[in-house]
Amino acid sequence: MLFQVKIEQGRVKTKTPHKFQQYLESLEGEKCVLELIKYKIPKTVDQLSYVHVLFKYIADYNGDTLGATKRIAKERHLPPTPKERYGKTYYDYPSCRDLGKWEMSEFIERVLADCVFLEIVVPTREELGYLPK
């Protein structure tokens, strides 16, 4: 069961305390795992579409594949996460699907800056019909 909660002064607050309490009571005596995850405002489909349009323009300009262009952009603009596997450390870059709305906005701005640097003329969100939300 998922409940969106807010932590205030070390206490869990929910918009539906009655439902939350009922669910807790239904689990009485059971062993459970409670996982709290920081909520991210999800990126919009428009953001995801627009960043892929930018990737396509850069890929065409450089003669690279779309996949290579995405990988290079992620390596340049997103912070790597160190991971350990078989006793070795390697760095993993987040996927666009893992970014929240504000992180995606920053990423788009950085990719747009790459386009300006390379003197690639790209359509704006408005020209494509992608209006910021």
Single out the residue of 7, 79, 76 nearest to residue 36, CA to CA: 7
Q: What value does the CA radius of gyration of the chain take, rounded to a whole number of Å?
A: 21
Of 118, 110, 133, the residue nearest 60 (C-alpha): 118
CA-to-CA distance for 89 and 85, rounded, in angstroms? 6
**Distance (Å) of CA 133 to CA 12, 22, 82, 105, 125:** 30, 36, 33, 11, 11
Least confident of 21-25, 35-39, 122-126: 35-39
pLDDT digits 0-9 by tens, 76-129: 999 888 888 888 888 888 888 888 888 888 999 999 999 999 999 998 877 877
pLDDT at 31 > cutoff 50 = yes
Confidence of residue 133 (pLDDT cuts 50, 70, 90): very low
Which of residues 131 and 66 earns the better pLDDT score?
Answer: 66
Mean pLDDT of 16-29: 89
Confidence (pLDDT) at 99: 86
